Chain A
Amino acid sequence: MSPRQDENILDVRGLKMYFPVTRGLLQRKVADVKAVDGVTFTIRRGETLGLVGESGCGKTTVGRCVLRLYQPTAGQILFEGEDISSLPESKIRHIRNNIALIFQDPYSSLDPRQSAGSIVGEPLKIHHQWVGSRSEYNNRVEQLFRLVGLDPSMADRYPHEFSGGQRQRIGVARALACEPSLIVCDEPISALDVSIQAQIINLLEKLQAGIKGLTYLFIAHDLSVVKHISDRVAVMYLGRIVEITKSKTLYENPLHPYTKALLSAVPIADPFVEEKRERIILKGEVPTPLNPPPGCSFHPRCFMAKPECSQAVPPLHDVGGGHEVACFRV
């Protein structure tokens, strides 16, 4: 065990990311899309934090802010103790060497005209410290191929020659190239077939067990997958975290009404269990982040809402054991 085991590798405080909506010839700003509106969470070294939510809830935007692919509107992102939220572009590259990304679509995230070996090796070239001699580079690429369960002799093939699962393995190898301490996995398995998904989940778990301190921010909409792979799970709704707790607790004792509805909406592949499950069917759809409802943004769909819910935004508060909920009724 590393002595720094309990240290937070990532500490996100009050993160906001607004995208301006412009109109007209002069591109006047008329409104903001509040994609992420005050998100606070931490990830410990070696941990997997799952980030779930429906499309448009801002989960991907959080991931991209962490990688500084976006310049956040407000808030702090402390990575290994250093605030990276306002670092100038020239210094970001050094951070990205430590934070990697695995993309959702293994088909569009690999350059079709680059060989698999060169895709995996490219980060090594960009972050110079890895490239010593040619043979050193080749050895590292070969090692990465083995690490993700690909035959190094396939390094000269092009992405179209690989299956979806194999392509995602290339994506994982590329992410691992510079030995990052944090990997942001953005829906890494949702484009894959059911029988292939398990292969990638197991690969990610195996890598984490083998590489000391490897931390994942696992973003997905599939609650059962997120629960399976994560130590803790944060549930997002319209740009805010509504509940964050250990993944076991989330299933056994969800407190936020949205979490309850989300859990009950996921069918379990077992008719014997399904017979007994309570189903909460939410009314309506997710409102637009362009004009979110006042107060708690979930209150128009909430089955527990009271008048005060439309007055103020409920803060995320700890109800014990690191279980945090943002709801006035809990």
Chain B
Amino acid sequence: MPSTPGSEAYSSDEEKSMAELLKVENLKTQFHTESGVVKAVDGVSYYIDEQEIIGLVGESGCGKSVSQLSVMQLISTPGKIVGGEVIFEGQDLLKYKTHGPKMRSIRGAKIAMIFQEPMTSLNPVLTINQQLTEMLELHLKMSKKAARERAIELLGMVGIPSAHNRIDDYPHQFSGGMRQRVMIAMALSCNPRIVIADEPTTALDVTTQAQLLELMKDMVERFKASLVIVTHNLGVVARYAQRIYIMYAGRIVEAGTTKDIFGKPRHPYTIGLLKCIPRLDEEEDRKLVPIKGLPPNLINMPPTCAFLPRCSYKIKKCSQKPWPPLTRLHGQHYVGCYVNTEEMRNEPAAR
């Protein structure tokens, strides 16, 4: 695969104000199934700065969750991380053994995760106290008593009323929104540097979603952590993220600041996504423009651009050359496409 960006994928000429916290280079994760090799993540590179909120956007099956699980080394058979680097605090996490003490000291402690399903990601047979204090005792070597006090404090911080009474409750005694609050408290319990939120509010109601996203934003600010929001909801990242990565078929197709992506989307897929979602503030008779076709099957992918069959901007070069690598447009805006959609666009983009 010659097409993936090398280690200088995101060159930075300008001095960045914040230090780089995590850098993922050319990450590849594959699933070996009976019908073939699924290249779920196929050469993904990205970085997160300190105290930054980034969004990772894509449709189901684009590899956004798998890429995050790979960073945490939570990929189980038949999945396998087959290449790349995950540099965190100067160390390549992929060199650590999955179950080794080094990885365990990072997983959950320095890089924490909030999962999509608040119903299934808590253990139903353990009390909230048991689940919250386990991490504090393990990672921070707290005593049982101190851990319990800290757990009550954390529950209070995430807005669980009368936390000292509720700490001995079981997950089923909490509503979906409250369970996700517990998950947030758990993720932040060991003062992580990075919190990865994988579709954190998809299963929840709109007003609860807004409460929790606001809470997550406040909490990562308070704990001086960075946040990765993995979602398919473009609205959520428009509201909260500073930078956005758009994923398609296991690769990042466009990256940039939130204003780059929404203001001047360049990849045909990004443009398509923005044209096909209804917006609250749209004109009354706006027509949605669906992206034709279907997302590709990740087995036996052609060497050319995976978006090619659905692309309305395609040129001859697209079917002759391998998947276009990410190239820099300006600043932090990168796009992986041979077509200069800017020039080809004969109508106002996406807005």
A and B: partners?
yes
A residues at B contact (CB < 8 Å): 54-55, 163, 165, 193-199, 201-202, 221-225, 227-229, 248, 251, 261-274, 279, 281-282, 285-286
Query: Which residues from A are CB-within-8-Å of B258?
Result: 271
- Determine if B235 is an interface residue (Cβ-Cβ < 8 Å): yes
B144 in the interface, Cβ–Cβ < 8 Å?
no
B332 at the interface (CB under 8 A from A): no
Contact string, B217-233, partner A, CB cutoff 8 A, digits 1/0? 00000000000000011
Query: A82 to B44, alpha carbons, bound, how many Å?
Result: 61
C-alpha gap A279/B213 in the complex (Å): 12
Please, which residues of chain B bring their CB within 8 A of the CB of A229?
Answer: 278
Chain B residues, Cβ within 8 Å of A268: 235, 238-239, 279-281
- For residue B137, CB closer than 8 A to chain A, the reply is no
Q: Which of B206, B259, B276, B280 contacts A194 (CB 8 A)?
A: B276
Q: How far is the CB of A170 from chain B (nearest CB, A)?
A: 15
Within 8 A of A (CB), among B158-197: 175, 177-178
Which residue of B is nearest A269, CB measured?
A: B234
Choose from B210, B274, B284 the contact partner of A265 (Cβ within 8 Å).
B210
CB of B92 closer than 8 Å to a CB of A: no
Complex CA gap A266/B206 in Å reads 7
Contact B210 A269 (CB under 8 A): no
Q: A199-B290, A264-B210, A268-B281 are in contact. List 15 more A-B contacts (CB 8 A).
A: A54-B207, A193-B295, A196-B294, A198-B290, A224-B277, A228-B282, A228-B286, A265-B207, A268-B239, A269-B274, A269-B279, A270-B281, A271-B259, A271-B263, A272-B263
B264-311 contacts to A, CB under 8 A, are 272-274, 276-282, 284, 286-291, 294-295
Q: Is the Cβ of B238 less than 8 Å from the Cβ of A279?
A: no
Collect the chain A residues with CB atoms within 8 Å of residue B276's CB.
194-195, 197-198
A271 to B89, CA, bound (A): 31
Chain B residues with CB under 8 A of A261: 207
B340 within 8 A of A: no
A-B contact pairs, 24 of them (CB 8 A): A54-B207, A163-B294, A193-B295, A194-B276, A194-B277, A195-B273, A198-B278, A198-B289, A222-B206, A223-B206, A224-B278, A228-B278, A228-B286, A228-B288, A251-B280, A265-B209, A266-B280, A268-B279, A269-B277, A270-B238, A270-B279, A271-B259, A272-B262, A282-B211
The interface residues of chain B lying within 8 Å CB-to-CB of A274 are 238-239
Assess the B288–A267 pair: CB atoms within 8 A: no
The residue in chain A whose Cβ has the minimal distance to the Cβ of B274 is: A269
Q: Is the CB of A198 within 8 A of B277?
A: yes
Contact of A272 with B259 at beta-carbon distance under 8 Å, contacts A194-B273, A265-B209, A281-B211 already known: yes
Residues of A within 8 A of B259 (CB): 271-272
Which residues in B have some Cβ–Cβ distance to A below 8 Å? Answer: 59-60, 175, 177-178, 205-211, 214, 232-236, 238-239, 258-259, 262-263, 272-274, 276-282, 284, 286-291, 294-295, 351
User: Chain B residues with Cβ under 8 A from A286's Cβ?
Assistant: 205, 207
Instruction: Report the minimal beta-carbon distance from A141 to chain B, rounded to whole angstroms.
Output: 24
Question: Known: A195-B290, A201-B288, A269-B277. Contact between A285 and B208, CB under 8 A?
Answer: yes
A263-B280 in contact (CB<8A) = yes
CA distance A165 to B290 in the complex (A): 12
- Known: A195-B59, A270-B262, A285-B175. Contact between A279 and B235, CB under 8 A? no
Interchain nearest-CB distance for A303 vs B (Å): 12
Q: Across the two chains, which residue of chain B brings its CB closest to A193?
A: B59
Asked if A273 contacts B281 (CB within 8 A), the reply is yes
Say whether A193 contacts B60, CB under 8 Å.
Answer: yes
Chain B contacts for A194, CB-based, 8 A: 59, 232, 234, 273, 276-277
A271 contact set on B, CB distance < 8 A: 238-239, 258-259, 262-263
User: Considering the chains assembled together, what is the distance between the CA atoms of A264 and B280 in angstroms?
Assistant: 10
User: What are the nearest 6 A-B pairs in CB distance?
Assistant: A267-B235, A228-B278, A265-B210, A198-B276, A198-B290, A269-B234
B210 cross-chain contacts in A, Cβ below 8 A: 264-265, 279, 281-282
Report yes or no: A202 in contact with B287, Cβ–Cβ below 8 A. yes
Residues of A within 8 A of B209 (CB): 265
Min CB gap B309→A, angstroms:
13
How far, in Å, is B59 (CB) from chain A's closest CB?
5
CA distance A205 to B316 in the complex (A): 35
Kindly list chain B residues whose C-beta atoms are within 8 Å of the C-beta of A55. Answer: 205
Of chain A, the residue at the smallest CB distance from B239 is A267
Would A262 and B232 be within 8 Å (CB), given that A193-B59, A202-B287, A228-B282 are in contact? Answer: no
Give the shortest distance, in Å, between B131 (CB) and chain A (any CB). Answer: 21
Q: Hey, which chain A residues are within 8 Å of B281, CB to CB?
A: 251, 268, 270, 273
Contact, CB under 8 Å: B205 / A54 = yes
Which residue from B206, B262, B351 sits with its C-beta under 8 Å from A262? B206
Task: With both chains docked as a complex, state the minimum distance between the C-beta of A116 and any C-beta of chain B, in angstroms.
Answer: 17
For the complex formed, measure the closest distance between the CB of A148 and the CB atoms of chain B, giving whole angstroms: 14
User: Which residues of A are found within 8 Å of B272, using beta-carbon distances?
Assistant: 195
Shortest distance between the CB of A142 and any CB in chain B (Å): 23
A263 to B233, CA, bound (A): 16
A198 and B206 contacting across the interface, CB-CB below 8 Å: no
Task: Determine the residue in chain B with the shortest Cβ distance to A52.
Answer: B206
Cα–Cα, bound, A265→B284 (Å): 21
B10 to chain A, nearest CB (A): 20
* Smallest beta-carbon distance A10→chain B, Å: 24
